[in-house]
Amino acid sequence: MDISALQSQLSEAGADKTPPVDKWDPPFCGDMNLVIKRSGQWWHEGTPFTRAALIKLFASVIKKEQEDYFLVTPVEKIGIQVEDVPFVVIDDSVVDEGIYVTTQCGDKVLISEAHPIELRKFEGSLVPYCLIRRNLWARIHQNVLYRWADRASPVKSGDKHKLLLSSKEYTFSIGEY
């Protein structure tokens, strides 16, 4: 992958805009030995990435097709491995009753209908995940989940008890007990 060409294309698109990778359908060029670990760490050929700017650049061009992940540009598509999901929510903030979450790659979204929360199995437990963009999800890190548990309201629903939070008009479950 030509990193300087990719940086140039992204600069032309605008610094704060996410590239339209869903509109790009370049030919498949093979697989890259790049793994996004369950922890959210990026590894290339067995070595962790240490440059945050490079991670942010690559994170901006991730595309998921069916169950496979790729890094894409307008001219090439390279397969990568993702152990769980490509992003992990590492922080949150509440502004005007809306909950904003931030991923390890710097993406920041307002939890809402456009960025919903969904409970999924992770290592044997139900854990909340947030849709970040397109069909790319982030698992909510344990430190954020603990803060949410302190703010959540218990609600009985049938024979189950749920912990609910609201972000503006959007209400979601962070777990059951």
CATH superfamily of domain region 3-82: duf1285 like domain (3.10.540.10)
pLDDT (mean) for 52-62: 93
pLDDT tens digits for range 27-51: 999 999 999 999 999 999 999 998 9
- Answer whether residue 13 shows pLDDT above 50: no
Closest CA to 81 of 121, 32, 128, 124: 32
The residue with tokens 């609600």 is 155
Backbone angles phi, psi at 93, to 5 degrees: -150, 150
- Answer whether residue 153 shows pLDDT above 70: yes
Instruction: Tell me what percent of the residues of the chain surpass a pLDDT of 70.
Output: 91
The pLDDT assigned to 16 comes to: 53
pLDDT (mean) for 86-97: 96
Domain 87-176, architecture per CATH: Roll (2.30)
- Answer whether residue 156 shows pLDDT above 70: yes
Q: Categorize the per-residue pLDDT at 84 as very low, low, confident or very high, splitting at 50, 70 and 90.
A: very high
Angle between helical axes of 3-13 and 52-59 (0-180°, round to 10): 70
The pLDDT assigned to 14 comes to: 47
Which pair of structure tokens corresponds to residue 143? 């430190």
pLDDT (mean) for 50-78: 94
| Alpha-carbon span 18 to 58, nearest angstrom | 11
| Alpha-carbon span 122 to 124, nearest angstrom | 5
Backbone angles phi, psi at 63, to 5 degrees: -135, 140
- Answer whether residue 9 shows pLDDT above 70: no
Q: Taking the domains of the chain in order of start, what are their residue ranges?
A: 3-82, 87-176
Q: For the chain, give the mean pLDDT.
A: 90
- Answer whether residue 7 shows pLDDT above 60: no
| Alpha-carbon span 126 to 142, nearest angstrom | 12
| Alpha-carbon span 164 to 50, nearest angstrom | 37
Q: Categorize the per-residue pLDDT at 4 as very low, low, confident or very high, splitting at 50, 70 and 90.
A: low
Q: Which of 2-37 are b and which e, b meaning 16 or more Cβ less than 10 Å from the residue's Cβ?
A: eeeebeeebeeeeeeebbebeebeeeebeebebbbe
Q: Categorize the per-residue pLDDT at 131 as very low, low, confident or very high, splitting at 50, 70 and 90.
A: very high
